[in-house]
């Protein structure tokens, strides 16, 4: 009696068996030969939606009973492993107890059970007393057709001619996703469709079953196979095109198209305009590169990896990447276009793209600069006009192969060919102020250049995981090559207006320079991780690199009649090699949000080189710099409760001197500002301490970021500036220690009213004390800069978005131990943006950007209110078209303005820039436009 079964019924009710509303249902489960099926699961379901009301198990005799259940119709369902689940309609009438008697369950055919359920792990569907199987996971070799797949399915036969028999009957029809588009011959579908595109194979016994799933009643009773495609195999494609015409002869045209399926992605993009848009938008870039828009794991220069949980989104070298964004100063005509193809499968990923861009740019600018020395001040007013042309062809290839579960190989190749030329003419009017005496001077410059370059970067990365969990090894190799071939002419005429002799008063330069340089680098890195325990990891790396730079600069002076004479003192041939080795090791601790890395590396440089007047001439100077540095590393990263993060790091970096700074040649590209290198320069070291705290409060839509760092420089490269009696400045790099800076950033964003209004406040500062070397006298400049900005967003509904922002920035420079005047410059900005949906797919928006530049010390002030206003309307049934009228720069105030204060130098620059125009544009977007405004 104790073994009798019962169920989760409120048993108290069984004492008060109310005959009219409650009933007892009992029965017995047996197999086809009458043996009891003990422990079979028995469920009572509601017939209308199969919802579970009660359940229990059969006892040793196969008997079950549901006590005291509500008197209503049920679906009784019984299941037993390897038997076809049984379904019985139960309709209790007035009886107190309903005995269903012996219910017999049929075994599932052994073949079906073993092959479908156990081997292929595919689900079996039970419809009435027949069984169907959805064959999602039958393993077939890559490239197999549906026919090959069907061959594997139990109960399915493929005749020699390709006709299909299912459970002995000929299949007359094959549908794909319920639709028959392969005509009447079922073989067409099975022979041509790839097996791995299929999610399910459904076999239907006749019309009614097929109609249930496909909804198509063809009136016939035939065996039908329905092939359900995998979701990912359903193809996608989107794209848009915009054309605009405007006043002032402005036009733009841009478009992109992307097509993809589970494996292939193809995209093309193009743009042409004379409205200063040189690059594509980030969204367009993402669409163009598809699955390769964000590539990581491509870093081949292994180093301290601890705490590197942040993914870098960068497409290799910046020079080689596809240009994104950018409205530039001046006037430019831009054309660009490219194509990208990606092929992605689980084990093989291939990506290739080609991108071309060209830009023709006209710049007219005036600049005023002031350069202070102990006893002299140089004021300069320049007018420059420059016309330049540049064109770039970029190509990239990437191949990633998962060789097996433990080995991965990545090959990357990037290349770029650039062509460019420019002509520039400048008028420089300078005043040299020496103890209240003015020495005015006038310089005319006419420079031209023509150059082409080629860059190529090639990387191979191999990763191996060992069978031991956590142990891994990576190796990389790289070969980079770049060359540049250029010719430039420089003509300048210098007039010293206050000079007493003719010889002093006029200086003329007419030079032709041919430059050819090559840079070759071969490098390799190794990385090894050994787990010391479940939480400690030991990581080691080794980097080695060899780089050769060769420059041949051939300079000739031209006489007034065009005679060329080689200028040996300014011509140079040099050849130098940089060998770099680094060996490092660190221990990482990772557990429950605590990640700590402590490590040490030894870094060695060897820089050798010589300088000659020409290839094969006698050696003028030899450089042989050997340098060993110890590089410690500490990183602490804590993930605290409730999305709060605290981090701390100490890093040291070493930077070898640049070749330009090492070469003992006077560079007279600007005859008033000469540069000379210093072959005795040492590598500079930087110590950096950094700490920060971030907080994300999802519940309150609140976030806070902060970051503070301190940098200290040893052997910093500082340029010694000396000025001669004629006001010509000569700079020479020196190593000086002691420069330091404090840098901080804070950001705080919180809702004033959730989902309606948000306020963001950001502030940053940079307080730096740097050595200043003027006329061989060492002093110090303290530059404090900072900005505070705030943005208020108001997004009450999807018809209005409104934003207000303001930013205040200042840079202040003071000088220690010298009488240079303090400098303070202000860069302030105020902005407002409004977008309104008036309904009927009609929109209005404006964007106001009001900038104010001010240098009080020098009395410079520039206001720049830029207002863009547009009205637009979506047309068409699917809202695929947009017509837009935009007025750019309503007040006609656009200018390129740039002001700066650095060391002993203050500048203020204005560039004539594309200003007011009215544009009418049309956009066609394949995927339709959304009429609700996005909040951001």
**Chain residues 696-725 in contact with another protein, contact rule CB under 8 A:** 696-701
Instruction: Tell me how far apart the 2 most distant CA atoms of the chain are, in Å.
Output: 133
Q: Which stretch binds another protein (CB under 8 A): 78-86, 373-381, 476-484, 836-844?
A: 78-86
Name the minimum Å distance from CB 405 to another protein: 13
Name the minimum Å distance from CB 58 to another protein: 9
Q: Which stretch binds another protein (CB under 8 A): 436-444, 556-564, 632-640, 906-914?
A: 632-640
Q: State the first-to-last Cα distance of the chain, in angstroms, to the nearest integer.
A: 70
- DSSP string of 423-465, one letter each residue: EEEEEEEEEEEETTEEEEEEEEEEEEEEEEEEEEEEEEEEEEE
Give the nearer residue to another protein in terms of CB position, either 347 or 658: 347
Q: Which of 26, 31, 41, 694 binds another protein (CB under 8 A)?
A: 41
Report DSSP state, residue 279: S
Q: Which of 21, 51, 442, 498 binds another protein (CB under 8 A)?
A: 51
Structure tokens at 636: 């602490």
Q: Which stretch binds another protein (CB under 8 A): 165-173, 564-572, 619-627, 926-934?
A: 926-934
- Measured CA to CA, the distance from residue 404 to residue 123 in angstroms comes to 29
Which of 3, 16, 1, 5 has the alpha carbon at shortest distance from 68? 16
Q: Which of 106, 139, 220, 534 binds another protein (CB under 8 A)?
A: 534
Name the minimum Å distance from CB 601 to another protein: 18
| Contact pattern from residue 443 through residue 482 relative to another protein, giving x for each residue in contact according to CB under 8 A and a dash for the rest | --------------------------xx------------
Give the nearer residue to another protein in terms of CB position, either 68 or 370: 68
Question: Using the rule CB under 8 A, is 588 a contact of another protein?
Answer: yes
Give the nearer residue to another protein in terms of CB position, either 173 or 289: 289
* Torsion angles phi and psi, residue 560, rounded to 5: -65, -25
Give the nearer residue to another protein in terms of CB position, either 632 or 751: 751
Give the nearer residue to another protein in terms of CB position, either 118 or 220: 118
Phi-psi region of 366 (alpha: psi -120 to 50; beta: other; left: phi over 0): beta
Give the nearer residue to another protein in terms of CB position, either 584 or 609: 584
Question: Using the rule CB under 8 A, is 50 a contact of another protein?
Answer: yes
Please say whether the beta carbons of 451 and 422 come within 8 A.
no
Give the nearer residue to another protein in terms of CB position, either 208 or 498: 208
Q: Which stretch binds another protein (CB under 8 A): 170-178, 262-270, 411-419, 486-494?
A: 262-270
| Surface-to-core class of residue 445, CB atoms within 10 Å of its CB (0-12 exposed, 13-18 middle, 19+ buried) | buried
HSE toward the beta carbon, residue 747, CA cutoff 13 A: 11
- Measured CA to CA, the distance from residue 719 to residue 730 in angstroms comes to 9
Question: Using the rule CB under 8 A, is 540 a contact of another protein?
Answer: no
Name the minimum Å distance from CB 793 to another protein: 10
Q: Which of 293, 614, 674, 860 binds another protein (CB under 8 A)?
A: 293
Footprint on residues 379-418 left by another protein (CB under 8 A): none
Name the minimum Å distance from CB 543 to another protein: 19
- Please state the separation of Cα 270 from the chain's center in Å: 20
Q: Which of 383, 407, 643, 658 binds another protein (CB under 8 A)?
A: 643
Report DSSP state, residue 180: -
Which of 377, 462, 300, 457 has the alpha carbon at shortest distance from 774? 377
Question: Using the rule CB under 8 A, is 263 a contact of another protein?
Answer: yes
What residues are paired with 519 via a beta bridge? 482, 549
- Measured CA to CA, the distance from residue 473 to residue 338 in angstroms comes to 37
Please say whether the beta carbons of 396 and 442 come within 8 A.
no
Question: Using the rule CB under 8 A, is 15 a contact of another protein?
Answer: yes
Give the nearer residue to another protein in terms of CB position, either 157 or 639: 639
Please say whether the beta carbons of 712 and 758 come within 8 A.
no
Name the minimum Å distance from CB 525 to another protein: 17
Name the minimum Å distance from CB 289 to another protein: 8
Question: Using the rule CB under 8 A, is 294 a contact of another protein?
Answer: yes
Give the nearer residue to another protein in terms of CB position, either 535 or 615: 535
How many residues appear in the chain? 936
Give the nearer residue to another protein in terms of CB position, either 43 or 681: 43
Q: Which of 190, 205, 214, 265 binds another protein (CB under 8 A)?
A: 265
| Surface-to-core class of residue 569, CB atoms within 10 Å of its CB (0-12 exposed, 13-18 middle, 19+ buried) | exposed
Q: Give the containing element (helix H, strand E) for 832.
A: strand 823-839
Footprint on residues 220-239 left by another protein (CB under 8 A): 232, 236, 238
- Measured CA to CA, the distance from residue 202 to residue 149 in angstroms comes to 13
Give the nearer residue to another protein in terms of CB position, either 35 or 753: 753
* Torsion angles phi and psi, residue 116, rounded to 5: -75, -55
Question: Using the rule CB under 8 A, is 286 a contact of another protein?
Answer: yes
Dihedral, 75, 79, 85, 89 alpha carbons, nearest 10: -20
Name the minimum Å distance from CB 173 to another protein: 24
- Please state the separation of Cα 515 from the chain's center in Å: 36
Structure tokens at 163: 């006709």
- Please state the separation of Cα 752 from the chain's center in Å: 31
Q: Which stretch binds another protein (CB under 8 A): 2-10, 215-223, 350-358, 896-904?
A: 2-10
Name the minimum Å distance from CB 643 to another protein: 7
- Measured CA to CA, the distance from residue 634 to residue 601 in angstroms comes to 12
Q: Which of 169, 170, 291, 626 binds another protein (CB under 8 A)?
A: 291
Which of 808, 871, 779, 789 has the alpha carbon at shortest distance from 834? 871
- Positive or negative torsion for Cα 13, 17, 19, 22: positive
Name the minimum Å distance from CB 774 to another protein: 48
What residues are paired with 75 via a beta bridge? 45, 89
Residue 217: count of CB within 10 angstroms of its CB:
10
- Measured CA to CA, the distance from residue 252 to residue 245 in angstroms comes to 7
Name the minimum Å distance from CB 239 to another protein: 9
- Measured CA to CA, the distance from residue 578 to residue 776 in angstroms comes to 30
- Measured CA to CA, the distance from residue 390 to residue 419 in angstroms comes to 6
Count the site residues for another protein by CB under 8 A: 100
Structure tokens at 226: 């329905």
Q: Which stretch binds another protein (CB under 8 A): 28-36, 51-59, 366-374, 893-901?
A: 51-59
Please say whether the beta carbons of 920 and 243 come within 8 A.
no
Question: Using the rule CB under 8 A, is 635 a contact of another protein?
Answer: no
Phi-psi region of 168 (alpha: psi -120 to 50; beta: other; left: phi over 0): left
Give the nearer residue to another protein in terms of CB position, either 28 or 858: 28
Question: Using the rule CB under 8 A, is 306 a contact of another protein?
Answer: yes
Q: Which of 426, 488, 595, 789 binds another protein (CB under 8 A)?
A: 595
Q: Which of 110, 230, 754, 856 binds another protein (CB under 8 A)?
A: 754
Structure tokens at 352: 């290739």
Q: Which stretch binds another protein (CB under 8 A): 12-20, 448-456, 578-586, 898-906?
A: 12-20
Give the nearer residue to another protein in terms of CB position, either 530 or 740: 530
- Please state the separation of Cα 827 from the chain's center in Å: 30
Give the nearer residue to another protein in terms of CB position, either 56 or 338: 56
Footprint on residues 84-143 left by another protein (CB under 8 A): 85, 87, 117-118, 121-127
Question: Using the rule CB under 8 A, is 52 a contact of another protein?
Answer: yes
Question: Using the rule CB under 8 A, is 833 a contact of another protein?
Answer: no
Name the minimum Å distance from CB 17 to another protein: 8
Structure tokens at 641: 């409760």
Q: Which stretch binds another protein (CB under 8 A): 372-380, 432-440, 583-591, 818-826?
A: 583-591
Question: Using the rule CB under 8 A, is 308 a contact of another protein?
Answer: yes
């Amino acid at each position: 009696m104790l073994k009798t079964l019962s169920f989760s019924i409120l048993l108290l009710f069984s004492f008060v068996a109310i005959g009219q509303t409650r009933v007892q249902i009992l029965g017995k489960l047996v197999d086809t030969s009458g043996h009891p099926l003990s422990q079979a699961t028995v469920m009572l379901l509601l017939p209308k939606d199969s919802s579970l009301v009660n359940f229990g198990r059969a006892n040793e005799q196969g008997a079950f009973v549901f006590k005291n259940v509500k008197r209503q119709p049920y679906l009784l369902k019984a299941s037993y492993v390897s038997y076809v689940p049984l379904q019985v309609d139960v309709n209790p009438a007035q009886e107190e107890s309903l005995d269903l008697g012996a219910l017999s369950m049929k075994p599932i055919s052994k073949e079906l059970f073993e092959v479908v359920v156990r081997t292929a792990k595919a689900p079996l569907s039970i419809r009435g007393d027949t069984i169907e199987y959805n064959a999602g996971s039958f393993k077939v070799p890559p490239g197999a057709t549906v026919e090959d797949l069907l061959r594997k399915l139990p109960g399915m036969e493929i005749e020699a001619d390709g006709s299909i028999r299912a459970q002995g009957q000929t299949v007359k029809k094959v549908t794909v996703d319920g639709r028959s588009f392969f005509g009447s011959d079922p073989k067409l579908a099975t022979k041509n469709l790839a097996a791995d595109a299929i999610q399910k194979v459904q076999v239907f016994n006749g019309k009614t079953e097929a109609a249930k799933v496909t909804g198509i009643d063809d009136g016939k009773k035939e065996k039908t196979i329905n092939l359900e495609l995998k979701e990912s195999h359903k193809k996608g494609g989107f794209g848009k095109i915009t054309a605009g015409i405007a006043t002032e002869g402005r036009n733009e045209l841009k478009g992109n198209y992307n097509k993809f399926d589970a494996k292939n992605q193809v995209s093309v993009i193009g743009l042409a305009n004379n409205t200063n848009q040189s690059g594509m938008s980030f969204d367009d870039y993402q669409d163009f590169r598809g699955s390769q828009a964000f590539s990581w794991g491509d870093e081949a220069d292994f180093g301290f990896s601890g705490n590197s949980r942040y993914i870098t989104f960068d497409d290799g070298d910046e020079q080689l990447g596809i240009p994104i964004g950018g409205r530039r100063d001046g006037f430019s005509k831009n054309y660009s276009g490219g194509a990208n193809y990606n092929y992605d499968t689980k084990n093989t990923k291939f990506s290739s793209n080609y991108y071309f861009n060209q830009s023709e740019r006209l710049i007219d600018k005036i600049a005023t600069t002031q350069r202070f020395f102990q006893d002299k001040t140089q004021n300069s007013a320049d007018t420059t006009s420059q016309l330049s042309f540049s064109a770039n062809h970029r190509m990239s290839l990437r191949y990633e192969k998962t060789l097996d579960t433990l080995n991965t190989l990545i090959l990357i190749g990037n290349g770029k060919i650039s062509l460019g030329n420019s002509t520039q003419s400048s008028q420089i009017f300078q005043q040299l102020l020496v103890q209240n005496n003015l020495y005015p001077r006038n310089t005319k410059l006419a420079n031209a250049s023509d150059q082409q370059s080629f860059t190529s970067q090639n990387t191979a990365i191999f990763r191996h995981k060992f069978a031991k969990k956590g142990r891994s090894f990576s190796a990389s190799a790289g070969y980079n090559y770049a060359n540049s071939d250029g010719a430039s002419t420089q003509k300048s005429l210098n007039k010293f207006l206050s000079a007493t002799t003719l010889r002093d008063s006029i200086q003329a330069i007419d030079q032709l320079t041919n430059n050819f340089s090559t840079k070759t680098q071969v490098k390799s890195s190794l990385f090894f991780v050994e787990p010391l325990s479940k939480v400690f990891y030991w990581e080691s790396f080794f980097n080695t690199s060899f780089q050769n730079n060769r420059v041949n600069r051939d300079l000739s002076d031209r006489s007034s009649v065009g005679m060329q004479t080689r200028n040996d003192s300014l011509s140079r041939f040099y050849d130098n090699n940089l060998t770099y080795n680094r060996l490092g090791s660190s221990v990482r601790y990772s557990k429950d949000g605590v990640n700590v890395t402590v490590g040490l590396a030894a870094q060695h440089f060897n820089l050798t080189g010589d300088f000659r007047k020409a290839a094969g001439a006698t050696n003028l100077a030899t450089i042989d710099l050997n340098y060993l540095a110890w590089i410690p590393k500490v990183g602490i990263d804590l993930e605290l409760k409730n999305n709060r993060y605290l981090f701390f790091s100490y890093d040291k970096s070493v930077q070898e001197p640049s070749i330009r700074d090492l070469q003992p040649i006077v560079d007279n590209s600007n005859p008033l500002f000469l540069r000379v290198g210093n072959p005795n320069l040492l590598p500079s070291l930087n110590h950096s301490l950094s700490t920060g705290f971030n907080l994300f409060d999802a519940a309150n839509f609140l976030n806070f970021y902060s970051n503070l760092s301190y940098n200290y420089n040893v052997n910093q490269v500082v340029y010694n500036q000396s000025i001669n009696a004629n006001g010509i400045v000569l700079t020479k790099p020196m190593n000086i220690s002691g420069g330091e800076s404090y840098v901080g950033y804070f950001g705080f964003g919180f809702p004033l009213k959730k989902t309606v209004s948000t306020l963001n406040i950001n502030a940053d500062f940079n307080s730096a004390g740097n050595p200043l070397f003027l006329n061989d006298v060492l002093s110090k400049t303290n530059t404090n800069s900072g900005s505070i900005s705030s943005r208020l967003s108001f997004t009450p509904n999807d018809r209005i978005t409104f934003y207000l922002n303001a930013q205040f920035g200042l840079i202040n420079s003071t000088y220690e131990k010298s009488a240079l005047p303090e400098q303070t410059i202000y860069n302030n900005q105020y902005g407002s943006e409004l977008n309104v949906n008036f309904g009927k797919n009609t929109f209005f928006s404006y964007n106001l950007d009001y900038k104010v530049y001010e240098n009080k010390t020098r009395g410079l002030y520039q206001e720049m209110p830029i207002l863009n206003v547009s009205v637009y309307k979506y047309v068409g049934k699917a809202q695929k078209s947009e017509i837009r009228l935009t007025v750019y720069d309503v007040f006609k105030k656009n200018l390129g303005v740039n002001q700066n204060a650095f060391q002993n130098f203050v500048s203020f620059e204005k560039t004539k820039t594309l200003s007011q125009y009215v544009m009418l544009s049309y956009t066609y977007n394949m995927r339709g436009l959304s009429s609700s405004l996005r909040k951001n």
